[in-house]
Amino acid sequence: MRLLYGLVFILFFMLIWNSCTIYDKEFDNPVDYKANEEKGIRTPSLVFYPKNQMVNLGDSILIGSHIVFKGDSVESFSGIQMRINFPNNFMELDTIIPGQLITDSLQSVPLFVYTYDNENILDIYAYFLDTVRLDVNETGHLADLVFKPLGSGYDSIYYDLNECTFLNYQDSLVNINGTRSAEIIIR
């Protein structure tokens, strides 16, 4: 009888031991410059968040646009122009929302406009206009992009770094050294 209980105990223990799965968690913090640099994205950089997204055909796709600086090398800026390319064959631009970083001290919406060629290119222009400060000098959220899926597929949204410009309040260029795209899977 003891042998039977021992075998049952061993089988139960083996069943529990083999059924446990340890998952690797992948943290995705859009403003983590160390993690971005490990992937070859030098700061200052423009990143999308989340970097990977899987949605169903009826869901909306929400992607955040962020600027990332190192803590000791933050540059001030007051104007931005970002060119964003996205696959228009299976998703459609729905809404663009200004980010929290470029709102002024009164929390009013900044000068924020965009052009869209009805194809796959979106240009966003934003200017920080405040009565207290001249510019923004921190890492943070620039805009939210909302898309509607049109069909199933897999593609990326990315910045065209050659057409992205950041200016300080004296109209001097702020160099952007890297970008991180966002991958989207629509089922």
Upper half-sphere CA count for residue 15 (Cβ side, 13 Å): 6
- Where does residue 90 rank: exposed (0-12), middle (13-18), buried (19+ CB within 10 A)? middle
Q: What is the pLDDT of residues 103-133, one digit of tens each?
A: 765 666 668 899 998 888 999 998 887 777 7
- Residue 28: phi, psi to the nearest 5? -130, 85
Q: Domains, the chain, ranges and CATH?
A: 2-186 (2.60.40.680)
pTM above 0.85, yes or no: no
CA–CA separation, 132 and 170 (whole Å): 16
Answer whether 142's CB lies under 8 Å from 66's CB: yes
